[in-house]
Structure 1
Amino acid sequence: MTLQEVKSLAAKGEGLKIEFKKKAAYPEKIVREFIALANTAGGVVMIGVDDDGTVSGQRFIEEEVYVMEKAIKELIFPALHYELFVLPINSKKGVAVFKLEQSQSRPHYLKIDKKRQSFIRVADRSVQASIEVWEILKKSKNPRDVVFTYGRKEEILLKTLEEKQRISVREFSKIAKIPKFLASKTLVRLVLANVLLIHPQESDDYFTLKE
């Protein structure tokens, strides 16, 4: 990757596959962006780029890279693979680009104090993955025919979606009068069966019929 390519990428602005960081401050938070990109569609994390897309660079860029690589190795599970490009801007500053593909080992997660948190990319933000997203990521790695029984709860679900266009786990549980775990399991199965789409959100995810 050349400096011109870096500037061209930065000019596109942050989005589904691009994240800017001026420096590697709070690496335990920045690794969430790596997890989100690898869990979603891949992309790049750029160190030494301002929020407005200016490739201003960072002094001692090698130290920034060291801090990030250490955090990636120690905090992200399973191990995350990436390409690294470190490019000088001038004699004092440089920029680093971490390039990630959509991971075959997803879902990756952050592990701190025995707590596991996974993240996905929604537009230009990284949000914590719900239980449903986690299950879909895990099971979609090995796609296969999903068998499900069309019964009362599925009938209620589809009728509700025809009327309201969208539904959450909580709403489905209440309308169908079933436990939340069963509502969750049913919706996940229907996403894997290509009947529904999941729309991850910062609060409650919602589901729609797949067109």
Structure 2
Amino acid sequence: MRYNLSELIAQGEGTRLEFKSTIHTAYRIARTLTALSNTSGGLLLIGVSDDGRIAGVDSELHEMQKIEKATDFLIDPAISVSYEVVEENGRPVIVVEIPESDEKPHYAIDEKGNRTIYVRAKDKSIPTNKLMLTHAGLPDSQLLQSTNVRNLIQVLRKNDFITAKQYAQLVNISEYRASKLLHQLTEHGLLLMIDRPRPVRFSLRVTE
């Protein structure tokens, strides 16, 4: 067994961890899988409620059929996942591992055939109109150690999002300069840009 269920649940849901008591539809789970794949990858625990209670799954086969429908037909381009069944007090929990993709962006396809990009912002799967692909490596250490960026990270650890206007007010710089810095940090993979609905908001890419 590769996974310690108790340790995973103790972490709580976040950028790279999602709990589902059951999969209601393949369409809905496609959003979660797409978001994880487009962001930093992660794990999906099926058979665990939002509050961390282990309920287990009634049928491993039925749950995985919905996962496979989502990965093969409702995500474009298709993604590959792996899974393992872990038992806790006789209750089976499916641990699905979703790697961060090299083929971004992936689109989730809904019941009407609409295609939407999703990204992971803390413990939520959020739609966005476009995914800003990141450059290799984080920004230089001097930038990361600047007071403006440290303040930004501190605020985003406590809040889901920030806009350029809010950031400008926070660190007392122009909105233009704030927007430019937020986009720069997004390009380097520190932040995610979410532009649905307006105004454009920014979130930490990884919060753990």
Look up the match of 2:102.
Answer: 104
State the Cα distance separating 1:188 from its structure 2 match.
10
State the Cα distance separating 1:94 from its structure 2 match.
1.5
Residues matched between the structures, number = 167
For residue 102 of structure 2, what is the amino acid of its counterpart? Q
Alignment equivalent of 1:205, drawn from 177, 181, 200? 200
Q: Is the Cα–Cα contact under 8 Å of residues 7 and 55 in structure 1 kept in the other structure?
A: no
Q: Percent of aligned pairs with the same residue?
A: 30
Matched, 1:71 2:70: yes
> In 2, Cα distance between the equivalents of 1:119 and 1:12?
23
Unaligned stretches of 5+ residues in structure 1: 144-156, 168-185
**Aligned alpha-carbon RMSD (Å):** 3.3
What are the Cα deviations for residues 129-155 of structure 1, in whole angstroms up to 9, with x where unaligned?
A: 233xx2x23xx3789xxxxxxxxxxxx
Look up the match of 1:37.
Answer: 36
> In 1, Cα distance between the equivalents of 2:74 and 2:48?
23
Q: Which has the higher contact order (CA 8 A, sep 6+)?
A: 2
Unaligned stretches of 5+ residues in structure 2: 138-163, 203-208
> In 1, Cα distance between the equivalents of 2:178 and 2:28?
32
Query: Which of 1 and 2 has greater Rg?
Result: 1
Distance 1:191 1:141, change over 3 A: closer
Equivalent residues in 2 for 1:135-146 (5 A)?
136-137=132-133, 140=134
Look up the match of 1:128.
Answer: 127
State the Cα distance separating 1:199 from its structure 2 match.
4.1
State the TM-score, normalizing by the size of structure 2.
Answer: 0.67
What are the Cα deviations for residues 29-57 of structure 1, in whole angstroms up to 9, with x where unaligned?
A: 11111110111111011110011112221
